[in-house]
Amino acid sequence: MTHGEYEVLRRVPTHFAVKSGHEIEGVEEIVDYTHRYVVVEKLGVGGLRALKLDPRRRDGDPSDT
């Protein structure tokens, strides 16, 4: 994965790249496939945590992470 691909992927704080076959049903939902990796969206508590801890976030106080 190139740095550019990673940055595009992470524009959505709940999206992550995983190796195909390493998705966790009920915790992640597949949103895209490539020949090198799968893009998943974290759901539930994991999704909320990803939103809260997103270093690209501009709307919050960094001390509340």
53 belongs to a structural domain: yes
Give every CB contact of residue 31 below 8 A, 6+ residues apart in sequence: 15, 39, 40, 41
Instruction: State residue 48's pLDDT score.
Output: 93
Question: pLDDT at position 60, please?
Answer: 52
- pTM for this entry: 0.79
Q: Say if 63 falls within a structural domain.
A: no
The answer to the question of residue 41 being in a domain is yes
In this structure, are residues 65 and 54 in contact, taking their beta carbons and an 8 Å threshold? Answer: no
In this structure, is residue 40 part of a structural domain?
A: yes
End-to-end CA distance of the chain: 28
CB 16 within 8 A of CB 36: no
Structurally, the chain folds into a number of domains equal to 1
Euclidean distance between CA atoms 49 and 23, whole angstroms: 18
pLDDT, averaged in runs of 10, over the chain (65 residues): 93 95 93 95 94 79 51
Query: Which range of residues forms the domain containing residue 41?
Result: 3-58
The pLDDT score that the predictor gives to residue 9 is: 92
